[in-house]
Amino acid sequence: MSLLLGGRFVLERQIGAGGMARVFLGRDEVLERPVAIKILNPGHGGTDISARFRREGRTAARLSHPNIVQVYDAGQGEFEGREVSYIVMEYLPGGDLKGVIDEKGPLPNAELAQLGAAVSSGLAHAHEGGVIHRDIKPHNILIDAYGRPKLSDFGIARALDATQATQTGSYLGTALYSSPEQLQGERVTPKSDVYSLGVALYQAAVGQTPFTGTPIEVASQHASRMPTAPRVLGADLGEGVEALILDCIQKDPDRRPTAEEVHKRLLNVPETTRPIRVPPPVSESPSAERTRTAPPEDPPTAESPAGATRRRGRLRRGPILLAAAALLLVLLGGAFAMLGENPLTALISREAPQANLTGDQPASDSEESTSEQATSGDVAGGGSDGEPASDAAAQAVRDYYEAAANGDYEGAWNSLSAGYQRQQGSREAYTSQFDTLESIQWAEGPTAQVSGDTATVTGVTTARHTNRTERNQGTWTLVYEGGGWKISGQNVSNISTEYA
């Protein structure tokens, strides 16, 4: 398939379909980046539905937030010999929350809190701008390549209201997550979105929606039945997160929190910085076939139990090796001196190298390089002036953002590892995210932890853009490659955004 819409958007292949529209993976030929193109089914061309579809798309394009899928364009074009309406959006390769739940099962407390904090932040921004979503559900919470959730399809439900009730499948999809007031034909408000978000979080925690059955049965339960508490059904939730979910799905809208209140309450949940595990992004070419693989392991962080276990394991091995070496020295005396080999170095150099959790190759696979990294501790990967490796890794992240803020996109691109660059595709597509960035300051950190040829850096930044100021928290994974630290992965989530 090679069809050009709007003079610049090439359709590659279909990646999704619903009762009213189809979604295609495409490419913006002007900016050379992959895009998602939602095309209203041809039978609605030239109708009031088609006009509202485009109008709502343009309304959504005015929303700019890290946790909202960016809409780039909306228009009309010829498709399969008929005039159609289309919306061009940011392409996210991680699938949707429904797919994550189907693959992983229910999310644990920390991951669910992170997800809810991010989505509610985007929702609060939309509500501040007077935009109500009307159709929040796991299918409309998309995941980007870094595990960051983003709300999609703002306004599409309102554009299709006239015919949606006649489509049983569409109605069921809405009824499962709709508020009582929506199902009873009453006025929809921002609190209606909060109810739907609560149902989506309930499903993410439990693995199923609070109410099931036929559309009529589900609608009746939304209006009259209290849901079973998630922890009764075995959900791995803290009391605070469970209480918030149940507050969101109160029957009375006045008893529900606002989206901003949801965001603030979830930010106070401990350990909400773990990324959502998603399949790796689609390969560099948008036309490549998409395959599902097992979610990658999280990189070890200061908060990660797995990372802590690995560190404890290394710490326990260290004293054992030292004790063994000392015993050998005492017993064998000058024998090793005659051989010209230090027993401690010999023992450590025979340790198996640490697994590379990022998927990137270290700078050298030679035995000499492995031995040097294993014995030098925090000095391996350090600066040329003897700077500790942890400081050098943290400085690499600082330099990355300083280059981006100064418009040195070549420098920012070169701060990425070779493997990470291959994942991102072209430099222009990747660095376009910095087009509005003017400056960045560190509110916390950056702080690095180093293990061999890998490092994990954490911190909180204040990023000033031409139209907003963002406070973000992030975790960056780095590898020591080509004589320096390179970023091989990152998970950045928004804490707050103020618009100029």
Phi, psi of 370 (to 5 degrees): -60, -40
Number of Cβ within 10 Å of residue 276's Cβ equals 25
- Locate tokens 């928290």: which residue? 473
15: exposed, middle or buried (Cβ count in 10 Å: 0-12, 13-18, 19+):
middle
Number of Cβ within 10 Å of residue 185's Cβ equals 8
Cis peptide preceding 253, ω within 30 of 0: no
The number of angstroms, rounded, from the C-alpha of 106 to the middle of its chain's C-alpha atoms is: 17
**Is there a catalytic annotation at residue 298?**
no
Angle at 34 between CA 30 and CA 37, to 5 degrees: 95
- Give every CB contact of residue 105 below 8 A, 6+ residues apart in sequence: 207
Number of Cβ within 10 Å of residue 290's Cβ equals 14
Residue 492 corresponds to which tokens in the numbers above?
């950045």
Number of Cβ within 10 Å of residue 67's Cβ equals 25
Angle at 161 between CA 39 and CA 88, to 5 degrees: 25
Contact 437, 450 (CB under 8 A): no
From 135, 144, 153, 453, the catalytic residue: 135
Contact 55, 47 (CB under 8 A): no
* Nearest by Cα to 105 from 114, 93, 113, 97: 97
CA pair distance 345, 246, nearest whole angstrom:
59
Contact 392, 481 (CB under 8 A): no
Q: What residues form DSSP beta bridges with 451?
A: 454
Looking at the annotation, which residues are catalytic? 135
